[in-house]
Chain A
Amino acid sequence: MKLVTMAAAAALAVGLSGAMAEPVKVGMITTLSGGGAGLGIDVRDGFMLAVKQAGNEDLEVVIEDDQRKPDIAVQLADKMIQSEKVDVLTGIIWSNLAMAVVPAATAQGKFYLSPNAGPSVLAGKGCHPNYFNVAWQNDNLHEAAGAYTNFAGHKNAFILAPNYPAGKDALTGFKRFYKGDLAGELYTKLGQTDYAAEIAQIRASGADSVFFFLPGGMGISFLKQYKDSGVDLPVVGPAFSFDQGILQAVGDAALGIVNTSQWNKDIDNPANKAFVEAFQAEYGRLPSLYASQGFDTANLLLSAMEKADVKDADAFRAALEAAEFQSTRGEFKFGPNHHPIQDIYVREVVKEGDVYTNKIIGTALTSHADAYWSDCNM
């Protein structure tokens, strides 16, 4: 399962800019098999699309599958650092895997660009000059969901998330912005597929709305069962249960549900339009937010390669901090802890022809930074 991809041999980039051109080797560790494979495949496809478009032959990417297992991710990272001699690591989807890999990799002087996972520790006390998160800090989309719930006038929310670190970050993030009362707060089992018991509790709780964070297959199960239960309270969630990959499996049960995201395919800027078109042309499906994150990560890296030599770590870091690339999110900038400061949008699930997708209906938080940057000393 190893895929070594050499960037296409279009010699365009050579000699265009002043900084010349030690080759950069990137190690991508992501989830390509098992239950969470859809997310890793989208990140990989988004990343490789940007690499292909750039045609920069100094960029080499090595891709490996972590099978969503922390021990395998650690082995792969060791192998990539020691025998493949990569300069930059990227790709990890899950926060528990990121916590196992990132601190060790950055301590060895490698750069790590996160296209997804943003655990709170790495944004606060555990931040590192060589760690950049191009997606979001874990709490961000949930904070936006809390803010939206206030805006929608709900006063008594029932909230639930899986019992693992990102689930706790989610409910913490929601409660940081939500001002009403809680009708109930539940932690479910990670990987749980039957939510009948939780839905019965929601029905009995007297809540006026529901917030849930159940990524991937868990969200599909919850939404289908929720619709079938006859409980018709409004639902709010982060984009992770409403991304392009899983909406088709949820079907009508998702229609009209409001969710929060830092990206959507209808964000109006030329880079995003071009990205959505190119992604569809290349892979024959609509991109998800994960794909946009992979695409932005690669373009950030390419922009830094234009300006500095990866062997000169300080110059390369400064080039990454400048983040001078065309993001699919429009304006893009990093905060002092190398996490994005960005707008978080409110989206609604709609049907376009036969395809379920999202439409932006508003902005929940503007120029939003995470809550942990003040704990970061670097």
Chain B
Amino acid sequence: MSLILLIEQVLNGLQFGIMLFLMAAGLTLIFGVMGLINLAHGSLYMIGAFCAAAVAAATGSFVLGLIAALAGAAIAGALVELVVIRRLYDKDHLDQVLATFALILIFSEGTRWIFGSFPLFLDVPDFLSGPVTLPGGIEYPLYRLTLIVVGLLVALGLYLLISKTRLGVQIRAGENDREMIAALGIDIAKLYTIVFALGAALAGLSGALVGAIQSVQVGMGEPVLILAFVVIVIGGIGSIKGALIGAILVGLTDTLGGIFLPELLKLFFDPSTATSIGSSLASMAIYILMAAVLVLRPAGLFGARA
């Protein structure tokens, strides 16, 4: 195992984690501010990817596709909030889970009606394709480096938004005491719609960015959704900082566990047994991480409420 391979794998883990962060940030905001469990967050990820693929195919421009993904997911998010989610705030979590699960089915079949059952094409734009050579002779895909940078910029932007702007003050206040900020004359319904649309736009952006190197197909959001829930449980519900740290932890654990567990087991077993046990253990690694975090800090790493 060379150092170059190790660094490359750390970059892979980082990139995976940062894309998870974009999903988890929206989910944790919505969960934290509104107290809502939104299973349909994965559908917004899918909507982002499909909008990007459709617009990129029609115009030939990846950047326009990204803008369409942001806009499409934000509009879908705002509509969902106005039509469905609004009725769920004072219901218990089971009702929310049922209703948002129904939304998953509606979005999946709706997408199939519009785009068909076959995966769509969305490719990395030419100016970002191919590998670059990093210092030390590491060859790494330029697009994945770009994903890391874009994700960190979004994280920075979110931090500034939450800590420095008036909207951020309202969001933080909404997390702590929603009756009080309503009493102070802030339109809480509008705030909720904005937060939901913001979370949806982040999910859509993530779907479009990842869609370019994966497959744009119906149902692509649900596996990511599960990981995003793991991330916000580890990071602490409602905490953007927790989402960032949790996402990077999950990304690194998943990537490095998949490589090193089989290698480690090869010291004890023959290669094919080691490979199959190691792969099985690696799929569990992030859940073991989550369990360990919950034992030590039941509210998550940066969670305010227990």
Which one of B9, B123, B213, B275 lies within 8 Å of A186 (CB-CB)?
A: B275
The closest CB in chain B to the CB of A230 belongs to B131
- B272 CB within 8 Å of chain A: yes
Q: Which residues of A lie under 8 Å from residue B112 when comparing CB positions?
A: 33, 37
- Interface, chain B (partner A; CB < 8 A): 2, 4-5, 8-9, 12-13, 15-16, 108-109, 112, 117-121, 123-124, 129-131, 139, 141, 143-144, 210, 212-220, 223, 255, 258-259, 262, 271-272, 275-276, 279-280, 282-283
Is the Cβ of A228 less than 8 Å from the Cβ of B219?
A: no
The closest CB in chain B to the CB of A163 belongs to B279
Is the Cβ of A230 less than 8 Å from the Cβ of B139?
A: yes
User: Roughly how many angstroms separate A203 CA and B2 CA in the complex, as a whole number?
Assistant: 12
9 nearest A-B pairs in the assembled complex, by CB-CB distance:
A230-B131, A220-B215, A217-B215, A249-B119, A196-B12, A221-B214, A37-B117, A35-B219, A204-B5
**In the complex with contacts A193-B215, A193-B223, A229-B131, A203-B139 CB distance below 8 A:** yes
Q: Which residues of A lie under 8 Å from residue B12 when comparing CB positions?
A: 194, 196-197, 200
A-B contact number at CB 8 A: 127
Which one of A34, A35, A204 lies within 8 Å of B4 (CB-CB)?
A: A204
Q: Which residues of A lie under 8 Å from residue B16 when comparing CB positions?
A: 194, 196
Which A residues between 170 and 198 are near B, CB-CB below 8 angstroms?
185-189, 191, 193-194, 196-197
Which one of A33, A191, A197, A220 lies within 8 Å of B255 (CB-CB)?
A: A197
User: Roughly how many angstroms separate A246 CA and B5 CA in the complex, as a whole number?
Assistant: 31
- A326 CB within 8 Å of chain B: no
User: Roughly how many angstroms separate A246 CA and B214 CA in the complex, as a whole number?
Assistant: 12
**In the complex with contacts A185-B271, A230-B131, A251-B4 CB distance below 8 A:** no
| CB pairs A–B below 8 angstroms (16 shown) | A33-B108, A33-B112, A34-B219, A35-B220, A38-B118, A189-B283, A194-B213, A194-B214, A196-B12, A197-B255, A203-B5, A217-B215, A224-B213, A224-B215, A230-B139, A246-B119
- Interface, chain A (partner B; CB < 8 A): 32-35, 37-38, 41, 163, 185-189, 191, 193-194, 196-197, 200-201, 203-204, 216-218, 220-221, 224-225, 228-230, 245-246, 248-253
Is the Cβ of A249 less than 8 Å from the Cβ of B279?
A: no
Is the Cβ of B255 less than 8 Å from the Cβ of A196?
A: yes
For residue B12, give the distance in angstroms from its CB to the closest CB of chain A: 4
The A interface, classified by DSSP as helix, strand, loop or mixed, is helix
Starting from the known contacts A196-B12, A224-B212, 8 additional A-B residue pairs (CB-CB under 8 Å) come to A34-B219, A187-B276, A197-B12, A217-B214, A217-B217, A246-B215, A248-B118, A248-B121
Is the Cβ of A189 less than 8 Å from the Cβ of B279?
A: yes
Is the Cβ of B121 less than 8 Å from the Cβ of A251?
A: yes
Q: Which residues of B lie under 8 Å from residue A188 when comparing CB positions?
A: 279
For residue A333, give the distance in angstroms from its CB to the closest CB of chain B: 33
The closest CB in chain A to the CB of B263 belongs to A201
